[in-house]
Amino acid sequence: MEYFLQQLVNALTLGAIYGLIAIGYTMVYGIIGMINFAHGDVFMIGGFIALIGFMICVVLGLGWAPLAILLVLLLTMAFTAVYGWAIERLAYRPLRGSFRLAPLISAIGVSIALQNYVQMAQGARSKPHVSLVQGGFNLYSANGFDVRVGWLQIVIVVVTVALMAGFTLLINRTALGRQQRACEQDMKMASLLGVNVDRTISLTFVMGAALAAVAGMMFLMYYGVIDFFVGFLAGIKAFTAAVLGGIGSLPGAMLGGLLIGLIEVFWAGYFSSEYKDVAAFGVLILVLIFRPSGLLGRPEIEKV
Amino acid sequence: MALSTVAPSAAAPDWPAALKDATITAAIALALGIFVSGFRTFDQGGLKFDYLIVDVLVACVVIFVGRLGLTLSSSAPVATLGLGVAALLAAAASFAAGKSSFMPSVFLSVVCAGAGLLLVIRGGWALAGRSGGGAQAIHQGGSALSQAMRLAFPWLGAGLFTFAVVMPFLPFADQRVMDLAILILTYVMLGWGLNIVVGLAGLLDLGYVAFYAVGAYTYALISTQHGLSFWVCLPIAGMMAAFFGILLGFPVLRLRGDYLAIVTLGFGEIIRIVLLNWIDFTKGPDGVGGIPGATLLGHPFAETAPEGTTTFHQWMGIDFNANHRLIFLYFVILALAMITNFVTLRLRRLPVGRAWEALREDEIACQALGINPTNTKLTAFAIGAMFAGFAGSFFAAKQRFISPESFVFIESAIILAIVVLGGMGSQLGVVLAAVILIGLPEWFRDLGQFRMVSFGLAMVLIMVFKPGGLIAHRDPTIRLHPANSRSGGR
C-alpha cells in the first residue's frame, strides 16, 4: 500500500511532464495533421537552455530559488519558442501541399540535425544538474515505510496544472484560440474569412515549443541529468500519450500523459525496469489497433 | 530564413526593407544559437562552462551579410557581388592570419568562405541574367544536358553494373575502397528492399532496421550454436525476417500513413530493447562474437584452415591474401543486391506489384475494385523484410560480431533517407543516393558530428527543394493512356 502510494506520487509527476510534451503534438496534429517528429528534440533543447540558464543564474549570484526558477522558466520558454517558430518556418511551411509523407520525413531530418547539433555544441556526455528545490515532506507513514512527496514534485504538478488551465482558456476564450479552432476545422475557409493561417500555425508551434520547454526544464530538475538523446524516448512516449488521449484533444493529451506516466512507473515498479519502454510502445500499438481515435478523440473518417 | 521575401524587381533596391530583413534573420539566428552554442558546458568537478559568445556573434554577422546579399541579388546584383567578395576576403584574411586570426574558429572561416562563394555565384548569375543572353544560354545548356541525360538513362544502369563487376580488379581497389564498396552495396540492398515498402506500396516504415537485426541475429545464433553454414542460414534468416514482417505487419497495416510510421518505429525499438535485455538468448549488450564467415563451396577465407577443411588459397593453389575475402564478400553482396533489384523489377509487372502501386495512389479506389489492402500491404511488408533479413545475415557474416548497437533508429532513418533522396520507387536513384549518403560521409569522417547535422539538414532541404528525389519516379508503372506512359525500369 505504501509502495503503491509512493509509485502513484512519482507517476503523477512523470505524467505531468509527458502531458506537457503531448500537448505540443496534439495541437500541431490537430491543426495541420502532421506528426511533429522533432518535438521531442525541442523538449531536449528546452532542457539544455534551462540547464545553461540555471548556471548563468549561479554565476550572476541569483541564489533565491523562486526568483531563479521563474526567470529561467520565462527565458527557457522564450528561447525554445524561437526554435519552434524557426523549425516550422524552415522545414514545414514550404512543404504544405507537398505529398503526404514529406513533412514527416522533413521532421525526421530536423530531429537528426537538432540532436547532433546539441551533441556537437555540448558534447555527448550527460550533464548533471543539482536542483534548486530540495527536500519534501512525509505524506503518510506506516510499517516503517515513508511515502515522500518532494517540494519539486509539487512545483511540477502545480506549474503543469496552471499552464493547462491557462492554455485551455486561451484556446476556448481568446481570438487566437478561435482562429486556431477555425484552422483546425477548415483551413481554406478560415483563410477566406480573414484568418491569417500562416500566423496561426506559427503561433501553434510557438505555443507547443514553449510548453515542451517547460517540460524540458521540469525533466532536468526532476531527474537532475540531461543529454542530447533524451528527446527521442520522451518524445515517443509523449506522442503515445497524445494518441492514447485522442489526438487533437487538449484534455486528452493531459489524460494520456498521466496514464503513460502511471503505466511506465508501475510497470517499472512491479515488473521489470528494463522493459518499461516496451510497455509504453506496447500501449501505443494496442491503442492504435483497438481504438485509433483514442480515449477522448473523435473518430476520423477518411473522405475521398 | 525568409521572413518576407522581397519581391524580385529590377527597380531600385529597397535598402531599408532588405536591411530590416537581414537584421531580423540575424537576430533569430542569435536567439537560436546563443544558449546552446554560446556556452559550452563541461564536467570538471561539477559542471562548468566556457563562453563561446564571440563565435555566435561572428556567425550572426556572417548570416546578416549572407541574408542581405541574397535579398539584394535580384535588385542589386552588384551589391551582392560586393558583399560576396568582402566575405571571401575576410575568410582569406582569416586563413592567412592562422592562429592569430580574428575569426574564433576555423569552422567559422569555412562558413564565411562558403557564404562568400554563394553570394558571388548568385550575384554573378543575376548580373549575367541582366546583361541578357547569358541566362538564356545557361538555360539552353541545361535543357540540352537533361536531354542527354534522358538518352543516356537506359544505359546508365548497365554501365554502373559493368563497373561494379570489374571494380575489385581495378588498380585503386585497395582494402579501404573494398570495405567502403561493401558497405555501400549493403545499403543499396537495404534501400532496394525498403523501396518495395516505401516506394512501391507507399507505406512509411521507420523500423526497417528491426528486420535487418532479425536476419543478423538469426544467422549469428544458428551458426554459433548449431554450426550451420552461411549459405544454409541465408534463406532461414530471410524467412525469419519475413515471418517477423508478417507478425508485426498484420495488426498494424490497417493504420493510416503517419500512424503506421510511428508504430513501426515502436516495433523497431521493441526488437532492439528485447535484443538488449534477453541476455540468456542474445548475450545482451555484449553482442554475439565469433560468427563464422561465409565460405566458397566450403572453403573458408583464412590463413590457416580449421580441422578437416582446406582454405580458399590452398584450394586455388595461390598465396594467401587478405583481400580475397573482401573481394568474395563484395561479390556476394553484389549478387544479393542484384537479386533484390531483379525481383523488384519483375514483381512490379505482376498483379501484386500493380496492386502495390495502385494502393499507394488511392487506397479507397482499390478497395472498391476488390483489392484486399491488408493482404497486399502485407506482401510488400514481408518481401521487404525478407531482403533486410538477407542483408542482415550478410552483415553478420562480414562483421563476425554483432550487437544491438548496430541496429538503432538512426540506421532506419539513413536507409529511409537513401530511398527518399533517390526518389521513391526509383531503383537507380537508390544507388546514387547510397553512394552520396554513405560514400561521401565515409570519406569525410574527419568532419565528425557536423556530418550528421548536415545529414539531417540535407533531408529537410531535399524535401523542400526536390521532394521527388534525385531521380523522380513517382509515376505508376503503367497508365491507361499509353501516350503518357513511361516504362518502369531501373
pLDDT digits (tens, 9 = 90+) for B473-488: 555 555 555 544 444 3
Q: Residue B268 — very low, low, confident or very high, per pLDDT cuts 50/70/90?
A: confident
Q: Looking at residue B467, what is its pLDDT?
A: 72
pLDDT digits (tens, 9 = 90+) for B20-77: 888 888 888 888 888 888 788 777 777 777 777 777 888 888 888 888 877 777 777 7
Identify which of B32, B41, B204 has the shortest CB distance to residue A86. B32
Alpha-carbon distance of B94 to B90, in angstroms, equals 6
What does the pLDDT read at residue B104? 66
Q: A-contacting residues of B 82-111, CB under 8 Å?
A: none
Decide if B364 and A104 are in contact by the 8 Å CB cutoff.
Answer: no
The grid coordinates listed for B358 are: 495502385
Q: Which residue of B has its CA nearest to A199?
A: B3
**pLDDT (tens digit, 9 = 90+) per residue, B30-40?**
888 888 887 88
Q: How confident is the model at residue B133 (pLDDT cuts 50, 70, 90)?
A: low
Which positions 217-236 of A are in contact with B (Cβ < 8 Å)? Answer: 232, 236
Considering only the beta carbons, identify the residue of B32, B40, B459 that sits closest to A105.
B459
The residue that leads in pLDDT, B97 or A287, is A287
Task: Using 70 as the pLDDT threshold, list the residues of chain A that sit under it.
Answer: 139, 144, 298-304
Interface of A with B in 89-148 (CB under 8 A): 89-91, 94-95, 98-106, 108-123, 125, 127-129
Q: Supply the pLDDT for residue B91.
A: 77
Tens of pLDDT along B386-402?
999 999 999 988 888 88
Q: Checking phi first, is residue B306 left (phi over 0); if not, alpha (psi -120 to 50) or beta?
A: beta
pLDDT in tens, B318-364: 666 767 778 888 888 888 888 988 898 888 888 888 888 888 877 78
Question: CA of B259: which chain A residue's CA is closest?
Answer: A288
Chain B residues in contact with A113 by the CB 8 A cut-off are: 452-457, 460
Contacts of A230 (CB under 8 A, 6+ apart): A43, A44, A47, A219
Average pLDDT over residues B173-182: 80
- Across the range B138-163, mean pLDDT stands at 68
Q: Does A168 touch chain B (CB under 8 A)?
A: no
Nearest CA in chain A to B364: A304
Q: Look at residue B391 in the predicted model and tell me its pLDDT.
A: 92
Shortest alpha-carbon distance between residue A166 and chain B (Å): 26
Q: Do A113 and B364 touch (CB under 8 A)?
A: no
Kind of pairing, strands B47-51 and A225-226?
A: unpaired
pLDDT band at B92 (very low <50, low <70, confident <90, very high): confident
pLDDT score, position A108: 87
Selected residue with higher pLDDT from B156 and B235: B235
Instruction: Provide the mean pLDDT of chain B.
Output: 77
- Nearest-angstrom CA–CA distance, B11 and B9: 5
Residue contact A106–B463, C-beta within 8 A: yes
Partner-chain residue, chosen from A35, A100, A108, that has the shortest CB–CB distance to B459: A108
Widest CA span of chain B, in angstroms? 86
Lowest mean pLDDT among A163-177, B102-116, B392-406, B456-470: B102-116
- For residue A122, the chain B residues in CB contact (below 8 A) are 36, 40-41
pLDDT of residue A83: 93
Tell me: the pLDDT tens digits for A267-300?
A: 888 877 777 788 888 888 888 778 777 777 766 6
- Contact call for B258 and A104, based on CB within 8 A: yes
Size of interface A-B (CB pairs under 8 A): 178
- The pLDDT, as a whole number, for residue B132 is 56
Determine, for residues A285 and B49 on separate chains, whether the beta-carbon distance falls below 8 Å.
Answer: no
Beta bridge partners of A150: A136
List, for residues B360-418, the tens digit of each pLDDT value: 877 788 888 888 888 888 898 899 999 999 999 999 888 888 888 888 888 888 888 88
Cell matching residue B483: 501516350
Closest-approach residue (CA) in chain A for B251 = A289
Neighboring chain A residues of B419 at a CB cutoff of 8 Å:
none
Neighbours of B396 (CB within 10 A): 31
Mark B398-436 as b/e (b = at least 16 C-beta within 10 Å). bbeebbbebbebbbbbbbbbbbbbbbbbbbbbbbbbbbb
pLDDT at site B311: 67
Least confident of B4-18, B190-204, B272-286: B4-18
Domain limits, chain B: 15-131, 171-484
Contacts of B409 in chain A (CB under 8 A): 232
> What is the length of chain B?
490
For helices B322-347 and B373-399, the axis angle rounded to 10 degrees is 170
Nearest-Cα distance to chain B for A142, in Å, is 35
Name residues 368-427 of chain B within 8 A of A (Cβ). 409-410, 413, 416-417, 420
B275 close contact with A: CB closer than 8 A: no
